[in-house]
A and B are shown apart, each in its own frame.
Chain A
Amino acid sequence: MSDLLRLVGAATVETIIMVLASTMFSLTLGLPIGVLLCATGPEEQGGIIPKPVLNNVLGRIVNVLRSFPFIILMILLFPLSRIIVGTSIGTVATIVPLSIAAAPFVARIIESALKEVDPGVVQAARAMGSTPMQIIIKVLIPEAMPALVSGITLTIINLIGYSAMAGAIGGGGLGDLAIRYGYQRFRPDVMLVSVIVILVLVECIQLVGNRLSARMMARR
């Protein structure tokens, strides 16, 4: 029993580290791309600096990356992990493919959240003499905040799922534990507990995300 707790405890910490770190990195990568996708889009949809060609190219790249099966993307990114963190196995190494796999997803979520902002409000901001940067930082992002929080919640939940998958090919965390102990060493108890912890994690994140988003809406 104490063996089980120790195993699951350590794996949970790994999962949390992987998910947190890759959420941060995927946001760092995805946020500018998402903002760019919205800003260069057509004017009726909140595009403040319409650039159809750039928008099209960027959109296609994002789509290709998004439709890549995660497991294959991860294998393809092994060399990159080796360059960045020195190894392609383990918790830290997994953060690289996780971040890159989630970034296009984040970009699309941010884009659609920003596009939801009332175009009239953007027009008012333009009429008052805002620069495009001021519109993005002082208008679009704050106005879209509840939708952004929901989107980020969704991203984190997706990343928990991805991180479990990463366990199958040498990542750490709960997925890895479930496969190595639960499946390969015939420990159904480890499998069950790992899955339950993942479910609880997802549930908690969803709850916190919903609360946060609802609180922002209530203050408006």
Chain B
Amino acid sequence: MHISLKHLSRAYGTLRAVDDISLEIPANTIYGIIGRSGAGKSTLVRLISLLERPDSGEILYDGKRVDDLQKDALISQRRKIGMIFQNFNLFSSRNAFENIAYPLEIAGIERSLIKKRVNELLDLVDLAGRGNAPISTLSGGQKQRVAIARSLANNPYILFCDEATSALDPQTTRSILNLIRDLQKKMQLSVVMITHQMEVVRDACEHVAVLDNGTVVEEGKVVDVFASPKSSTTKEFLANLSPLAAEHEQHHTMVRWSAEGGRFTLRFRGTATGEPILSRIQKQCEVEFNIRAGGVQRVGNEDVGTLICDIIGEGSEITKAVEALQSAGVLVEEEAV
């Protein structure tokens, strides 16, 4: 289901939580919306999931306007949307099975069919046989699996994940992201992931929108955004990404040789990762490279490399070197001194 947002705004008093946001969220993909806390993510997801109404603007699902739906139409539309949360929001008065059964119960589905469907869903999220478990006995990852099963019970066409992995450890986060990716393909879902973790965007999303102060500051395919970030917010997110903080996993490590940061950040993608660009330029220009940190990470199906370095030499030679790097397809960011 394709989602279009047109000039959405929502204010609380004088705070403009969502300020004139327009986005096209393609069907059948995982779309990330990233932002710091207070950037307006939660409000935005409450608007697109029809939990709250915008002050102005329109929301369209497959070209059909949904933000002004009333009562019964609104309720039946919500039943076609799945949603999972940071704190899982499971019913503590119900066990795992009964939690998953809830959306089916309220839709008035026959008891025997509910039983069959819930068992299928438990199987789908790798919790077969755990239906009788009280919620408090489940681990964080298992709780989120129950929540995912519950959100998918009515075969929705959209799944909203509101910081769904923020309360989980890195390993569990990875397994939940894998599950969501599998289910997205299996059930032809359009998934919208709200997060403040760039790792989540890198590992799961195809497209991303970066939010700051209630507006979209950058939007595009994840690979493009990683290889050539434009806004300062995006760059900050990339700088704080775990590879720089040494996460022990293949493809995700960045080696740091120096505690000091360098003046230049070089980003290169795809084929450029396989070429000896630096040494070639070193021969052409009167410069030396002092590499502080560097690494390659896998974004989607592409490699994106990052090098943090100093370039030492005459001012004019440095400019020449930077130009040569850019013409070789490397994005060069210079830190203001």
Residues from chain A with Cβ under 8 Å of B289 in the complex: none
Contact B78 A120 (CB under 8 A): no
Complex Cα gap A139–B87 (Å): 17
What A residues does B103 contact at CB under 8 A? 128-129
Most buried by B among A118, A129, A134: A129
Q: How far is the CA of A145 from the CA of B91 in the complex (A)?
A: 12
The answer for the CA separation of A118 and B91 in the assembled complex, in Å, is: 9
Using Cβ atoms and an 8 Å threshold, which residues of chain A touch B135? 220
Q: Please, which residue of chain A has its CB at the minimum distance from the CB of B83?
A: A127
Inter-chain contact A131/B75, CB cutoff 8 Å: yes
Which residues of A have CB within 8 Å of B134?
219-220
- A138 on the B face (CB < 8 A): yes
- When A142-B93, A145-B93 are in contact, do A123 and B106 touch as well, CB less than 8 Å? no
Choose among B78, B89, B106, B107 the residue that contacts A118 (Cβ–Cβ < 8 A). B89
Interface centre among A124, A134, A138, A145 (most CB of B within 10 A): A124
Give the contact-size bracket for chain A. 20 to 34
Q: Do B93 and A128 touch across chains, with their CB atoms under 8 A apart? A: no
B314 at the interface (CB under 8 A from A): no
- Chain A residue numbers with a CB within 8 Å of B78 are 126-129
Given A120-B85, A120-B87, A123-B51; A129-B106 close (CB under 8 Å):
yes
Contacts of B319 in A (CB 8 A): none
Residues of B within 8 Å of A, CB-based: how many?
29
* Contact, CB under 8 Å: A129 / B79: yes
CB under 8 Å from chain B, chain A span 103-140 = 118, 120-121, 123-131, 134, 138-139
Chain A residue contacts of B136, Cβ below 8 A: 220
* A220 lies within 8 A of B93 (CB): yes
Main secondary structure of the interface of A (DSSP, over half): helix
A198 to chain B, nearest CB (A): 34
CA distance A129 to B51 in the complex (A): 10
Q: How far is the CB of B5 from chain A (nearest CB, A)?
A: 18
CB distance from B168 to the nearest CB of A (A): 16
**Is the pair B89, A120 in contact by a Cβ cutoff of 8 Å?**
yes
Instruction: Tell me whether B75 and A129 are in contact (CB under 8 A).
Output: yes
Nearest CB to that of A128 among chain B residues? Answer: B103
1/0 contact string of B185-212 vs chain A (CB within 8 Å)? 0000000000000000000000000000
Residue B102 CB within 8 A of the other chain: yes
Q: Which of A123, A128, A138 has the most CB of B within 10 A?
A: A128
In the bound complex, residues from chain A placing their C-beta under 8 Å from that of B81 are 127, 129
* Nearest 6 interchain pairs by C-beta: A129-B79, A129-B78, A124-B89, A142-B93, A120-B89, A127-B83
Interface residues of A (CB under 8 A from B): 118, 120-121, 123-131, 134, 138-139, 142-143, 145, 219-220
Beyond A138-B102, A142-B94, list 16 extra A-B contacts (CB 8 Å): A120-B85, A121-B92, A123-B51, A123-B89, A124-B90, A125-B91, A126-B51, A127-B78, A128-B150, A129-B76, A138-B105, A138-B106, A139-B91, A142-B93, A143-B93, A145-B93
